[in-house]
Amino acid sequence: MGMQNNAKKPHVLIFPFPGQGHINPMLQFAKRLHSKGVKATLVPTVFLSKSSFFNSSASIDLCTISDGFDEGGFEQADTPYAYLSTFWNVGPKSLAALIKKLRHTAHPVDALVYDTMLPWALDVAKQFGILSAAFFTQSCAVNNVYYHVYKGHLQLPLRGSHVSLPAMPPLHVSELPSFVAIYGLHRAWLDVLVDQFSNIDEADWVFFNHFYELEPEVVDWMSKFWNVMTVGPTIPFIYLDQRLENDKHYGMNMFKPNVTACMSWLSGKPKDSVVYVSFGSIASLGIEQMEEIAWALKDRNGYFLWVVRETEKAKLPHNYIKETSHKGLVVTWCPQLEVLSHESVGCFLTHCGFNSTLEALSLGVPMLALPQWTDQCTNAKYIEDVWRIGIRARPDEKGIVRKETIIRCIKELLTEVGKNREGIKKNSIKWKNLAKKAVDEGGKSDQNVDEFIAKLI
């Protein structure tokens, strides 16, 4: 679907929560709108725009708003509560001022696509009479859990070891989002995630960043309440339908990736021989868990590429990088999509953040799940038992996944001959093909985006 050259382009503001896992899918959604003739403007915070590496090949405009911490962002605040309460006070006024300013340009705002973690943005959209779409960056299953907490159907603290919710498999407490499973843990973030539903009934659309076949039961159940549309997976075009051949990266990084080092190192490695390890932009491992992973990767004597953020490097064993350089490469950040799409990568040892999960699933890479917190334990459950595209490495009674367990799981995914490995590989290919079909021309996600645009014209 494309717009006529002489027609006025609809203008959509895309407003993500200021975190890498929120920016990536929403910026990619903006690029997909742009490819269909819509003017899309990303709205980061002032600090994020100054501190991130931005390079969008899709000509996405940037307009900033203030979160009240223009010089330091989240780190400038003393506590999560301090950051969130200030953002909730300053943000609505700043967003309203932006929309008002754009009213007097050639491209006034027609619709606001807002991150559900910023529900007050919907109130601002209603204030100006513009259309609104809530955008969830976590899975339907995870948000179904938070929805039932919001409605009071799931009482906290939990009683019992299992939870049964509509359209989902029974979940052990250890498979629930950590903020729900351990009541009182990071209470500020639980409040934000539950509050996503405070006004969502007023949104014109509710978008999910995945494709229908991934969670059909939950999508159908939620569609009873809202105008739900699956619009993903929102990853760069070149990895899916290739309608934009130069769209290889998301375009905005909070960390600078070591592109040349990573891709040069992968070049020439045998097919499916490399274990790629990354725990995302936020998760922080304890020293003991870090050491268990380090010794597992070293002792199995196979190839590995490990992303260890600069703030985490001190947790590595002494002289580890030098001692493992014949088989491994440790970098502070990498171009994850390029790495996952490389034929030498055989499995992904992941924290199970939803973006990472969706990327691996869309590129057909089996996963070794080692979840840490927030939505990751629920994602790990789906990776292993619902989508069957990986296995979860189980912790011991101290909550630590030991090196022997990690080695055994890697062996099961990479080299062990058997029905489990064959099934995981077969399912990985199946989901990869379904992801491509969803966003290709005429696919369900592609149709949903077209339907959204049609309402703006």
**Which CATH number is 421's domain given?**
3.40.50.2000
Residues 6+ apart with CB under 8 A from 396: 402
Within-domain flag for 317: yes
Q: Are 121 and 88 in contact (CB under 8 A)?
A: no
Residues 48 and 165 both lie in one domain: yes
What residues have CB less than 8 Å from 442, skipping those under 6 apart?
A: none
Q: Are residues 194 and 95 in the same domain?
A: yes
The C-alpha atoms of residue 253 and residue 424 are separated, in whole angstroms, by 31
CA 174 to chain centre: 21
Could you give the CA distance from residue 437 to residue 441 in angstroms, rounded to a whole number? 8
Q: What confidence score (pLDDT) does residue 7 get?
A: 62
Q: Dump pLDDT digits (tens) for 106-144.
A: 999 999 999 999 999 999 999 999 999 999 999 999 999
Question: How far apart (Å, rounded) are the C-alpha atoms in residues 41 and 28?
Answer: 12
Question: Which amino acid, one-letter code, is at 31?
Answer: K
Which helix H or strand E contains 142, and what residues bound it? helix 140-150
**Is 6 inside a domain boundary?**
no
**What's the pLDDT tens digit per position in 363-390?**
999 999 999 999 999 999 999 999 999 9
DSSP conformational letter for 386: I
d(CA 56, CA 60) in angstroms, rounded, equals 6
pLDDT at 249: 74
Separation of alpha carbons 197 and 166, rounded Å: 17
Give strand pairing partners of 112.
13, 132
- What pLDDT is recorded for position 289? 98
Distance (Å, rounded) from C-alpha 253 to C-alpha 268?
27
Contact by Cβ (8 Å): 149, 194: yes
In a domain, 377, yes or no: yes
Q: What is the pTM of this model?
A: 0.94
- What's the confidence (pLDDT) of residue 55? 64
- What is the CA angle 239-242-245, rounded to 5? 100
Residue labelled with tokens 């911490």 = 69
Q: Residue 3's pLDDT band (boundaries 50, 70, 90)?
A: low
- The whole-angstrom separation of Cα 18 and Cα 83 is 11
Is there a single domain that holds both residue 209 and residue 321?
A: no
CA angle 111, 60, 71 (to 5 degrees): 95
Residue 2 lies in a domain: no
Over 60: is that where the pLDDT of 2 sits?
no
164/270 same-domain check: no
Say if CB 268 and CB 303 are below 8 A apart: no
Owning domain of residue 140: 11-250+439-454
* Identity of the amino acid at 292: E
Percent of the chain as helix, strand, coil, to the nearest 5: 45, 15, 40
Average of pLDDT values for 403-428? Answer: 91
Please name which of 86, 39, 36, 37 lies closest in space to residue 65, comparing C-alpha atoms.
86
Tokens representing 58? 């899709």
Domain count along the chain? 2
Q: What is the pLDDT of residues 146-157, one digit of tens each?
A: 999 999 999 999
Q: Are residues 135 and 281 in the same domain?
A: no
Residues 6+ positions from 187 with CB-CB distance below 8 Å: 179
**One domain, residues 428 and 344:** yes
Catalytic residues: 22, 115
**Both 287 and 342 in a single domain?**
yes
